[in-house]
Amino acid sequence: MNSDTELATKARKGDAEAFEALVRRYARLVWATVAGMIADPSWTEDLVQETFLRAWKSVDQLEDAAAFRPWVLSIARRLVFRHTELSRRPLPDVDEVEPQPKSLDVEEARRRVQAALQRLPERYRLPLALRYLNDMDYGRISRELELSNGALRGLLNRGVKMLRRELTPFWKAQEEL
Of 69-77, 78-86, 94-102, 160-168, the window that binds other proteins (rule: CB under 8 A) is: 160-168
| Count of residues touching other proteins (by CB under 8 A) | 51
Binding residue (CB under 8 A) for other proteins from 7, 8, 37, 48: 48
Amino acid at 59: V
152 near other proteins, judged by CB under 8 A: yes
Non-local CB neighbours of 61 within 8 Å, separated by 6+ positions:
none
2 near other proteins, judged by CB under 8 A: no
Q: How far is the CB of 14 from other proteins (least distance, A)?
A: 4
86 near other proteins, judged by CB under 8 A: no
118 near other proteins, judged by CB under 8 A: no
Sign of CA dihedral 65, 53, 137, 2: negative
Residue 78 phi/psi, 5-degree rounding, is -60, -40
Dump the DSSP string for 62-79: ---GGGHHHHHHHHHHHH
119 near other proteins, judged by CB under 8 A: no
